Each structure stands twice: as structure tokens, then as C-alpha cells.
A and B are shown apart, each in its own frame.
Chain A
Amino acid sequence: MQLYLPIADLPVNVFLVLAMGAAVGFVSGMFGIGGGFLMTPLLIFIGITPAVAVASVTSHIAASSFSGALSYWRRRAIDPALASVLLCGGVTGTALGVWTFTQLRALGQLDLMIALSYVVLLTTVGSLMFSEGLRALMRTRRGALPPRRTHNWIHGLPLKMRFKRSKIYLSVIPVVIVGIMIGFIGAIMGIGGGFILVPIMIYLLRVPTSTVIGTSMVLTLVTMLFATMLHAVTNHLVDAVLALILMVGGVTGAQFGVRAGQKIRGEQLRLLLGLLILSVGMRFAIELGIQPADLFTIRELGAS
């Protein structure tokens, strides 16, 4: 069944988009991530311009992270204090990101920047996660205990604050910086950033695993809602029809993903996720390196 997308200005097959939403939703439910880093490339692949894809995926991630955040809230697995400090940074970062997005679009380098950031970010995070998962897997194979966590330099910074539900005592500076970073890259790349945020919070900020996913989902939710708003107001690129189809597919797929994820052990899950992220990054890298089929591209500067 063909449906005409009003903003992307092209007809798509509804079932194809639904299936894409469900597949990405499955993966996101399985790994507890937003799945934007898979959704945006897929949309670009079916012919939607990177700009519209990035802007529309933000609202899709908002929907899936809201349903996730609700269930974590019921389980009291969200730290409100930590979430609000992260949000201060997140909102600033998102505004900066959307502004940069608009500037790059005017310069004609948006597509390149999206591709480059995907390559850099995904290959780095992917290989880190993959090697970490591999090491953890070897450790459990050998029956060794995981290394004891010690405090690092981050815990020596001033402006400390007590986060009750997470039971940590931490400076707000790194938390705000992390928020800014995630908000910024999220707005430019059309990703929620959960797959970067969760490792950072666990390894760098030492947030306990009980609250980390729920809290990161709150940040994802608010930054993505904010990004949707800003993309809608400044660039008029959010395709609500596309977003709705993606949302419906995504939230359904996520439910099955969660169940599948519970059957797999943590280290294996991280290994798989690392591999997935790495392969998406590699795909972008290869695309940048080989000669494109067409050296020329056209962009309309808006009808008169």
C-alpha cells in the first residue's frame, strides 16, 4: 500500500516502513537503546533525504523512549535528580545541535557531516563495546571476578551533589557536559544517544546499573522532544506521517525485542550490540571512501 509522505514529498510503501520500524524496535527493545542510529540510515537508504530522516526520527525516538521511561518509572528505576541535571546540559546541547544542523544544511555539507559523525562515533563506540564484551566473556569463561571499580579523576571535581536514588555523590560538571554532548550529537545525527550515554554513565560516572537505563531514557525523551520541536520550527522537516508509522512499528517491535533480550546474557548482548554498531559505522565509512555512482547532487532551495 502506497502512502504519500507530505514533508518528504514522496510515496512510500506503508508496510515497508512499518516493518523497518518493527525491526529497529526489536533491536532497540533487545538492547535497551533508542535505535536511532539504525533508523536514520535505513530511511536514507529508502530514498528519504538525510535532513528529513534525521528530523523525523527524533520524534520516533521520543515515542519509544517515553514508553520505556514509563515502565522504568513504575519500577522506580529513574533518578529524578540525576535526570534533571543531565537535562540542563541536554537541552543546551540540542539547541546547539539544531543550530549547527541548519548552518551545515545551508553550506551543503550536512550529508557529509552526518556520514562522518556516523563513521567516527559508531566505529569508536562499536569497537570499544565489542572489545569490552569480548573481555567480559573471556573473564566469565575463566571464572575470574570482574575488576573492582575504583574512583577516577571525575570524582575529584568540585560542585558535588548527592543523587539519592542512585546512591552516588558526584560533581555536576561532568554530568552537564555529558548532557550537552548527547544533546548535540543527537540533534545532528538523529539518534537518541542511549548507546553512548549508558556506557559513559556506567564507566565514567559510576552510576549504578539499577537507575542507568531509566535515567538515560528520560534524557533521550526530553532532548528528542525538544529536537522535534526545534526541527519543526526552524527547518520544517519533521514528517509527522512518516514518524507515526515508525512509532507504531517501533513500539510494537520493541516489546518482542525486550523478551528476546532477557534470554541472552549481558556480555553476549554487549558483544552483539558492539558488532551491530561497528558494522553500521563501517558501512558509512566504506560509502565515503568509494567513488559515488554520481558525483553530482541537486538540492532545491525552496520554491519561490
Chain B
Amino acid sequence: MMRAALALLLVVLLGSAARADRLIVSVSNHRVTVTPNYSGEELVLFGSVEKDTTTPADRTAYDLVVTVMGPRADMVTRRKERTFGIWINTDYRQFLQVPSYLALFANRPFDAITSPEIARRQQVGLNNVLLTQRVGGDYADVVPNDAFRSAFIRLRTQRGLYREDPSAVTFLTPTLFRTGIPLPAEVPIGTYEVEIKLFANGAFIGKTETAFEIVKVGFEQFVATTARQNGLIYGLVTAAMALMTGWMASIVFRKD
């Protein structure tokens, strides 16, 4: 029995080792909690590239692109135009199931890592990430310099929710790397997917995935879920709270 298990383990290990250049990664914290005094945090992603026998001997320099994607949501981008002397929302585009948080990190400029063709296919760089828009009845991503798309990325970047940093990944040794994942104060709650893509000499070699989640805990979580799921009770409690505060004030500050 024991021997059989060992044999199986050996097969599994050998089987996985047979694939070229494995990536092994881990984030410093798989569960980020948003507490009352949360004001942003930075996670650290560690990893190493494991060579094996099939790796060409001349392959020494690796390039890495780390993509962090927050929970997906539908979003609308609206454009204001001057109408009758005032600025009002006129045109809009709907972005379907786009990441609420998106970060792209690499060890050197994206265009130096790989060819534009592969960069587009592997969604390397904010300009190449797929952001599906609803254009009339069609669903499509548009050219990177589309006004709505670039405004969308610019606004998300301003809020610290979209970012790209081609120098964030550092190689500690030729195969050991790390990168920081900064999370802003107004970070969306949910599951975050992390994709690590490995390139060598401009070619895409492989990728691995990991994930972490951001959760509200304690009171915040309780308030937010109650507001969403039990709107009536939440409203009643808020109304009662208002009455209590008003009543207490009239007692405390009563003059006569």
C-alpha cells in the first residue's frame, strides 16, 4: 500500500517535471481583510522558475508578466457634452464584465518582452487587455485609442484601481522573483485572480495562476450585507437609530 502510494507520487512528480520551466508562486496573504481602519495594503508575490532537462541550455534570461484581476462587474462610462450651456451626460458605453481592479507588472517594458502580436494574444499591457464593450447590439473590444476605452482606463488608473508597472517585478536570482501588489484604500471586495506569464526570448513559455480574496470582516461586512440582503430591516434600524439620536440629544441638551 505504502509502496504503491510512493510509486504514484513519483509518477506524479516525474510527470509534472516533464513539462518545461515550471512556475511556482505564492502570495504573502491569501485573505486580505478590510477592517474599520483599513487604508490600503501591499501584498507580495513570490515565485521561482524551475528549469528541467528539456529546457534549452542557452535559455538564461526570463521575462515575467504578472496580471492581477479583481472581481468582474459591468460598468458604464459616460461622456459629458455642452448642451444649452450646461454640461450633461450625453453619450455612453457599457463595459461588460471587466475587472474592477487590474494590475499588470513586468520586469522590463512590455514592448521589450515580446512581439506586438504575442502581446495582444497574451493580453500584455493595459492597451492589450480585453475590455469588452457593448457597441449597439455587438460585443467587442475596440482599438486601444478609442476615447471611451482610454477614458475608462485613465479614470480607473487615477483611482489606483488600474495600474501597469513594467519595473515592478524584480529577479532576486536569475530564477527567483518577487513583485508587490499595491491595493488602494477603496479596493473592491471579492476574489482576485493572479496570472503569471513566463516569456523567454520573446516567446510565451507558460503560465500559472493563483488567487487571493479581499473580504470585509466584522462590522463592515455585517452592515454591507444587511443593507443589501435585508433592506427593510436595515432601513428600520437606521430609522430607529435616527430617532434614538434625536431623542437622546433632546434629553442631554434639555434646558427646562
| Chain A residues within 8 Å of B, Cβ to Cβ | 1-4, 6-7, 9-11, 59-60, 62-71, 74, 108-109, 111-112, 116, 224-225, 228-234, 236, 238, 240-241, 243-244, 247-248, 251-252, 254-255, 288-292, 294-304
Contacts and interface: CB of A to CB of B under 8 A. Distances in A.
B246 A4 contact: no
Given A6-B224, A297-B78, A251 B246 contact: yes
Contacts of A10: 185-186
Contact of B73 (A225, A233, A290, A301): A301
Contact of B235 (A229, A241, A302): A229
A79 B86 CA distance: 43
B240 to A, nearest CB: 9
23 contacts: A6-B219, A6-B223, A7-B227, A63-B242, A71-B250, A71-B254, A112-B89, A228-B238, A229-B232, A229-B235, A229-B239, A238-B235, A240-B237, A243-B242, A244-B241, A296-B78, A296-B79, A296-B154, A303-B72, A303-B73, A303-B188, A304-B72, A304-B74
A112 B83 CA distance: 12
B234 A66 contact: no
A300 B247 contact: no
A303 B227 contact: no
B220 A247 contact: no
A116 B88 CA distance: 10
A4 B239 contact: no
Nearest to B70: A303
B239 A228 contact: yes
Nearest to A288: B86
A120 to B, nearest CB: 12
Nearest to A229: B235
Interface string B211-240: 000001001110110011001101111110
Interface stretch (B12-20, B33-41, B54-62): B33-41
B190 A303 contact: yes
Question: Chain A CB within 10 Å — which of B36, B154, B232, B248 has the most?
Answer: B36
B78 A302 contact: no
Contacts of A229: 232, 235-236, 239
Given A11-B39, A232-B238, A288-B86, A4 B34 contact: yes
Contacts of A299: 75-76, 78
Interface of B: 34-39, 71-82, 85-89, 92, 94, 97, 100, 148, 151-152, 154-156, 185-186, 188, 190, 216, 219-221, 223-224, 227-228, 231-232, 234-239, 241-243, 245-250, 253-254, 256
A291 B80 CA distance: 9
Main secondary structure of the interface of A (DSSP, over half): helix
A109 B80 CA distance: 11
Contacts of B76: 108, 298-299, 301
A-B pairs, top 10 by smallest CB distance, nearest first, are: A66-B246, A232-B235, A251-B249, A296-B151, A67-B246, A63-B242, A6-B223, A62-B242, A229-B235, A233-B231
Contact of B155 (A233, A251, A297): A297
Listed residue (B92, B238, B239, B253) with the most chain A CB atoms within 10 angstroms of its CB: B238
B205 to A, nearest CB: 32
A62 B179 CA distance: 50
Nearest to B254: A71
Given A288-B87, A296-B151, A3 B227 contact: no
Contacts of A1: 37
A225 B190 contact: no
Contact of A240 (B81, B97, B152, B234): B234
A91 B152 CA distance: 40
Nearest to B80: A295
A300 B73 contact: yes
B242 A247 contact: yes
Contact of B224 (A3, A7, A230, A290): A7
B87 to A, nearest CB: 6
Contact of B38 (A4, A69, A70, A232): A4
Nearest to A233: B231
Contacts of B37: 1-4, 11
B78 A238 contact: no
Contact of A301 (B75, B231, B235): B75
Contact of A292 (B39, B77, B87): B87
Given A297-B78, A300-B100, A304-B71, 10 more contacts: A6-B220, A10-B186, A59-B242, A63-B245, A244-B245, A291-B82, A296-B155, A298-B76, A298-B155, A304-B74
Contacts of A9: 186
B75 A296 contact: no
A10 B63 CA distance: 36
A248 B87 contact: no
